[in-house]
Amino acid sequence: MTAEARIVLARLRSMREQQTWPNGQRYLWTDAFGVVLLTSLHAELGDTRFLDEAEVVVADVDRVLGRPVGLRIGEAPDRDGQYFHYLAMWIFALWRLGAYRSGYSERAVALARAIHPRFVLPGRGVVWKMREDLSAPYPGFGFGAIDPFHGYVVWRLVGGHALEREIAELRALVDAASPRLHVTQDLGLGMLLWLSHFFPEERWAVTQRERALRVLDEMWIDPPGYFCREPGLGDVKFAFTNYGVALGLHAVGQSAERVARLNAFFDAYRSGTSYDVDAITHVMACTSRLPGLFLRSRS
């Protein structure tokens, strides 16, 4: 067992004891990362108990967040509505679990097919947030900048010919958006790097990977060793978004030394906010240490 796996197992044990995760409140983004984490631990260690636990999480997410079409953002009262990028990440998690347990890959395709026409407006964009019943966009929200890229990559991974029309609609949006898309926020940059590594030779992937790495260079604060929220905001930092950047850097094989340093920095850092105890911080910290099945090389 690697040293990183030991750190992840210790953190996961602590989360269980504190009822942070997987036995805490449901939140779709965290649960998606967590299901991939548990599946990755099985792939790393060969212990089927991690798959059993992943299936328990999926069942609980269905029970708590499941809606007639799609899944609610989270269990807390202020986490209503549905986010496209959360659903896309959940679909990716189901697909990864489906490589080891039957039925989940098919569920991933079915969910993608069901939500696609509710969020995707061909030739226009992907709605970032919808009402909980998917009847209309959530008031005050428009199109998501990265959402077409997220949907395009995940739909291709999970669906292939089964989602051919949906993939074509998203590809057209990606090709139209990429030349003018300049992301400057830490988590968005990390997710773009991660998405770019699945189809690394495609023009949009090359463009966005090069841009993301350039912007991240501007955001690296050394010392002590972290990525700030956006260029020019050197004092603004979040652990969980840095862990998202770390995942992207793992995916494209860049800046391993910076990933190690940000992990060390945030192991000791305390913000004094709820993020210090929130499951999203600790689950994504595990992913930063053990990217596992988030990576194309583990396909």
Tens digits of per-residue pLDDT, 169-179? Answer: 999 999 999 99
What CATH number has the domain bearing residue 55?
1.50.10.20
In a domain, 10, yes or no: no
In a domain, 64, yes or no: yes
In a domain, 1, yes or no: no
- Rounded CA-CA distance 126/120 in Å is 5
Q: Does the CA dihedral 164-191-296-62 come out positive or negative?
A: negative
Residues belonging to the chain: 299
The total number of structural domains that make up the chain:
2
Give the three-class secondary structure for 80: coil
Q: Same structural domain for residues 41 and 80?
A: yes
Per-residue b or e along 66-103, where b marks 16 or more CB atoms closer than 10 Å to that residue's CB = eeeebbbbbbeeebebbbbbbbbbbbbbbbbbbebbee
- Rounded CA-CA distance 112/163 in Å is 8
Structural domain range at position 241: 182-299
Beta-carbon contacts of residue 243 (< 8 Å; ≥ 6 apart): 262, 266, 281, 284, 285, 287, 288
The residue among 238, 284, 277, 289 whose CA lies nearest residue 89 is 284
Long-range contacts formed by 269-275: CB under 8 A, 24+ apart: 269/226, 269/237, 269/239, 271/238, 271/239, 275/238, 275/239, 275/240
Q: Same structural domain for residues 139 and 259?
A: no
Residue reference for tokens 């990576």: 295
Give the three-class secondary structure for 197: coil
| Both tokens assigned to 149 | 């890229």
Q: Same structural domain for residues 240 and 277?
A: yes
The pLDDT value given to residue 298 = 57
* Cβ-contact 151, 121 below 8 angstroms: no
Model pTM score = 0.97
In a domain, 131, yes or no: yes
Query: Which of 124, 149, 180 is the last residue in one of the domains?
Result: 180
In a domain, 17, yes or no: no
| Both tokens assigned to 134 | 């998917």
In a domain, 3, yes or no: no
Query: Which of 180, 214, 239 is the last residue in one of the domains?
Result: 180
- Rounded CA-CA distance 226/234 in Å is 9
126-162 per-position pLDDT tens digit: 999 999 999 999 999 999 999 999 999 999 999 989 9
Q: Same structural domain for residues 67 and 214?
A: no
Q: Same structural domain for residues 288 and 213?
A: yes
Q: Same structural domain for residues 217 and 158?
A: no
**If residue 83 lies in a helix (H) or strand (E), which one and from where to where?**
strand 82-83
Task: State which residues of the chain have pLDDT below 50.
Answer: 299
Q: Same structural domain for residues 137 and 217?
A: no
The pLDDT value given to residue 99 = 97
Q: Same structural domain for residues 144 and 187?
A: no
Beta-carbon contacts of residue 214 (< 8 Å; ≥ 6 apart): none
Q: Same structural domain for residues 195 and 96?
A: no
Q: Are strands 220-221 and 120-121 parallel, antiparallel or unpaired?
A: unpaired
Give, to the nearest 10 degrees, the angle between helix 28-45 and helix 84-98: 20
Q: Same structural domain for residues 143 and 233?
A: no
Q: Same structural domain for residues 35 and 147?
A: yes
Query: Which of 180, 215, 240 is the last residue in one of the domains?
Result: 180
Q: Same structural domain for residues 27 and 175?
A: yes
Neighbouring CB atoms inside 10 A of 232's CB total: 10
Residue reference for tokens 């990977």: 209
In a domain, 5, yes or no: no
In a domain, 207, yes or no: yes
